[in-house]
Amino acid sequence: MTPNPMKPVNHLDLHRYMGRWYEIAKFPARFQPKNGVNTRANYALNEDGTVKVVNETWVDGKRSFIEGVAYKEDRGSAEAKLKVKFYVPPFLPVIPVVGDYWVLYIDEDYQYALVGQPSRNYLWEGCSYPQLGCHLVDYEGE
């Protein structure tokens, strides 16, 4: 059985989406430390319409981070289909790694979000405030 295709949010307001998002759940990703804590993403809108991305986590008390840039795949589309580009390793910015960043769900108050990829290899749930009790999103991808 073929799964239903992933459907991104329509009409994502990038201005409201900016700020710090705290990871509350995820599918394990090979590029994220397995024992990272207090993982979060910081987004800031650049003048050219791209988004500065700083992902950070703490491993054994030390901050680990990577910076990148996100941009709309199709600037004319209202869908929340973005690409994110990081340079690996971050101290030698010569090898770009580009991935899909689709916002699959966002609540009307922009407090909860579900982000994934059409490949279904990665999935993150985030909360825009650092409190226990952020609820898990019931997303069916319809």
Q: Does the global pTM surpass 0.85?
A: no
pLDDT tens for 10-47 read 999 999 999 999 988 665 666 566 777 788 999 999 99
| Count of other CB atoms within 10 angstroms of residue 106 | 23
The Cα 86–Cα 138 span in angstroms is: 30
Closest CA to 23 of 38, 12, 34: 38
pLDDT tens for 48-78 read 999 999 989 888 989 888 899 999 989 888 8
The residue among 128 and 2 whose pLDDT is bigger is 128
User: For the chain, which domains are there?
Assistant: 14-127 (2.40.128.20)
The residue among 51 and 121 whose pLDDT is bigger is 51
* Alpha helices (H) along the chain: 14-17
> What pLDDT does residue 141 have?
46
Mean pLDDT of the chain: 83
The Cα 109–Cα 106 span in angstroms is: 8
Q: Which residues pair with 117 in a beta bridge?
A: none
> What pLDDT does residue 75 have?
87
| Count of other CB atoms within 10 angstroms of residue 7 | 14
